[in-house]
Amino acid sequence: MSIHDTLVYLNTTYDNFSSQFSKIPGSAIVLRYVRSSYQNDPVRSFFELCLFLFAVRYFLASKYSFSKKNFIELSDKEVDELVEEWQPEPLVTPLTEAQRIETDKIPVIAGAATPKAKLISGKSVLNLASFNMLNLLTNAQMKERAIKTVRSYGVGTCGPAGFYGFQDLHLQFEKDIAAFLGVPAAVTYAQAFNTISSTIPAFAKRGDIIVADAGVGVAVQKGIQISRSTVHWFQHNDMEDLERVLAKVQADLKGKPLTRRFIVTEGIFENSGDISDLPKIVELKHKYKYRIILEESWSIGVLGKTGRGLSEYYNIPATEIDFIVGSMATTMCAGGGFCAGSEYVAFHQRMSGNAYLFSASLPGYLAATASEAIAQMQLNPDLFRQLATNTRAFRAILDKSQYVVSPSDPDSPMVHLLLTDEVLSKRQIDNEENLLQDIVDECINNGVLITRNKTVVSQETFAPEPSLKILITTGLTKREIEKAATVVKAAVSKIVGRTPKAKRPASGK
């Protein structure tokens, strides 16, 4: 067959195929799509053809059969022997000797964690290790509110808020906390830890900019990590370094597309007890066009004349803070967390906050208890004056110690105590954590319950210095607080004072 005859044959075959294909319903649409797709992107058309051929091959292939015996049959005796020899792996890794000793030393309170608590050993202690800083845990109105709510609503919602777990109790709390803080709206989460770690990635995505304080807690760190944003850290509570970082980021982004930018910090820092310089942060926010994410779990119900947190403490409108995140498990003596801000901030999290969408919502009685806690704060503003008085009384005694120093702000009722540089340099301290635990044990033996600042170092971006952690409460009188401070100071002196000094090297001639 000549080339001419071959071409004629191919043209005839193509015409016949086109004629038959055009009779198929929808063939014109398919043909138009193939032509336009190939013209715009031939590579895409090739991959689509490959995908189509793979799908045809997959659906026409024979199903996998389990009837084929491609394994070794074992006798009943062999099966029994294998079962007897099998040892399941433990569900939990066994404790090391050090972990077991530490666990055995954890004091257990019999009953509620009241300011004057009783351990299961029978020993009575002044409790300076509880989140119950406003002593609302024993408040009669809060107890009554919780009991009534349980009788009416039960103990749980059994579903995420977006499905059937949202109750009028949650709505009421969101209105209460928003009004208390002075912002338009709020959204409630079931777990305090997951609140900030869900809020950050709900707004900050890959390619966005986060400038964060190096002293933030692990929950904030996890939220930053999950967001996959570009992160720049500034030195802890150093406003000059913050401005330096912001200026550098602005220079690096010059000429590039706009992106979302956030400053992330805490009100009272969980690992140090000092307070953020909010006026300077707000100034820099407007100067460099950033949004502020403020974690206030330890400052709401503590700072300000009426406990409204960092904004009231500095007399700055709360609306200047774009995201106010807090825990209801600290001064409110309830559970869960919240994020307050604009209507958009609350609405967006209901659509994209992972911990909001995929976790069972907060039990109703905890939301009701938190609402009652807010009411008690407003009814009893003297609580905050008494808390400040007790804090100053405690610090007046501990600040005179020659062995420890506190990085905490004088207005912070969460007091961290660090061993001084002189103690660390001049004494042989093999394990600082063990020394601090000895101080805790000595305090408990003398009737004062305190704790160490316990962290999982492997999970920390910047591991905090080992410290004693003490939480002042209004449930004790000023005299009792002074007594507790004297006990802590004496325990520090006793334990650190008996630590052997470093041996001087022998002098050679």
> What are the structure tokens assigned to 20, written together?
């038959």
pLDDT, tens digit, for every residue of 115-161?
A: 999 999 899 999 999 999 999 998 999 999 999 999 999 998 888 88
- What is the number of other CB atoms lying within 10 angstroms of the CB of residue 487? 22
User: How sure is the predictor about 23, in pLDDT bands with cuts at 50, 70 and 90?
Assistant: confident
Query: What gap in Å lies between CA 168 and CA 165, rounded to an integer?
Result: 10
272-276, 455-459, 463-467 — which is least confidently predicted? 455-459
> What are the structure tokens assigned to 136, written together?
């609302």
Query: What gap in Å lies between CA 177 and CA 182, rounded to an integer?
Result: 8
99-103, 272-276, 352-356, 389-393 — which is least confidently predicted? 99-103
How many residues are given for the chain?
509
Query: What gap in Å lies between CA 113 and CA 85, rounded to an integer?
Result: 47
Query: What gap in Å lies between CA 314 and CA 267, rounded to an integer?
Result: 11
Strands (E), 259-380: 261-266, 291-295, 323-327, 337-341
Q: Are 363 and 335 in contact (CB under 8 A)?
A: yes
Q: Are 276 and 265 in contact (CB under 8 A)?
A: yes
DSSP string across 364-389? HHHHHHHHHHHHHHHH-THHHHHHHH
Structure confidence at residue 507 (pLDDT): 42
Q: Are 136 and 331 in contact (CB under 8 A)?
A: yes
Percent of the chain whose predicted confidence (pLDDT) is above 70: 92
User: How sure is the predictor about 53, in pLDDT bands with cuts at 50, 70 and 90?
Assistant: confident
Structure confidence at residue 57 (pLDDT): 84
Structure confidence at residue 424 (pLDDT): 83
User: How sure is the predictor about 70, in pLDDT bands with cuts at 50, 70 and 90?
Assistant: low
More confident residue, 508 or 217: 217
In one-letter notation, the amino acid at residue 360 is: A
User: How sure is the predictor about 52, in pLDDT bands with cuts at 50, 70 and 90?
Assistant: confident
Structure confidence at residue 94 (pLDDT): 85
312-316, 337-341, 505-509 — which is least confidently predicted? 505-509
More confident residue, 305 or 1: 305
Mean pLDDT computed over every residue of the chain:
89
pLDDT, tens digit, for every residue of 364-413?
A: 999 999 999 999 999 999 999 999 999 999 999 999 999 999 999 999 99
Of the CA atoms within 13 Å of residue 417, those in its CB half-sphere come to 30
Distances (CA, A) of 57 to 62, 63, 139, 408, 433: 10, 12, 71, 68, 64
49-53, 179-183, 250-254, 396-400 — which is least confidently predicted? 49-53
> What are the structure tokens assigned to 306, written together?
């009426």
9-18, 49-58, 273-282 — which is least confidently predicted? 9-18
DSSP reduced 3-state for 321? coil
Would the pLDDT of 503 be above 50? no
204-218, 231-245, 314-328, 490-504 — which is least confidently predicted? 490-504
Query: What gap in Å lies between CA 113 and CA 11, rounded to an integer?
Result: 91
User: How sure is the predictor about 506, in pLDDT bands with cuts at 50, 70 and 90?
Assistant: very low
Would the pLDDT of 88 be above 50? yes
Q: Are 205 and 245 in contact (CB under 8 A)?
A: no
Return the H-helix or E-strand segment holding 397: helix 382-398
Distances (CA, A) of 410 to 30, 268, 272, 273, 385: 75, 11, 12, 9, 14
Return the sign of the alpha-carbon dihedral for residues 156, 161, 167, 170: positive
User: How sure is the predictor about 110, in pLDDT bands with cuts at 50, 70 and 90?
Assistant: very high
Query: What gap in Å lies between CA 417 and CA 299, rounded to an integer?
Result: 19
Query: What gap in Å lies between CA 156 and CA 170, rounded to an integer?
Result: 12
The mean pLDDT value for 233-260 works out to: 94
The closest alpha carbon to 232, from 242, 223, 240, 222, belongs to 242
200-209, 265-274, 421-430 — which is least confidently predicted? 421-430
The closest alpha carbon to 263, from 237, 285, 244, belongs to 285
Structure confidence at residue 500 (pLDDT): 60
Structure confidence at residue 255 (pLDDT): 86
Percent of the chain whose predicted confidence (pLDDT) is above 90: 67
Q: Are 354 and 187 in contact (CB under 8 A)?
A: no
Domains in the chain (CATH in brackets) are 97-136+382-498 (3.90.1150.10), 155-379 (3.40.640.10)
Would the pLDDT of 201 be above 90? yes
Nearest-10 Cα torsion for 444, 448, 449, 450: -100
Would the pLDDT of 218 be above 90? yes
Structure confidence at residue 108 (pLDDT): 92
Structure confidence at residue 313 (pLDDT): 97
Residues 6+ apart with CB under 8 A from 35: none
Structure confidence at residue 39 (pLDDT): 59
Structure confidence at residue 421 (pLDDT): 86
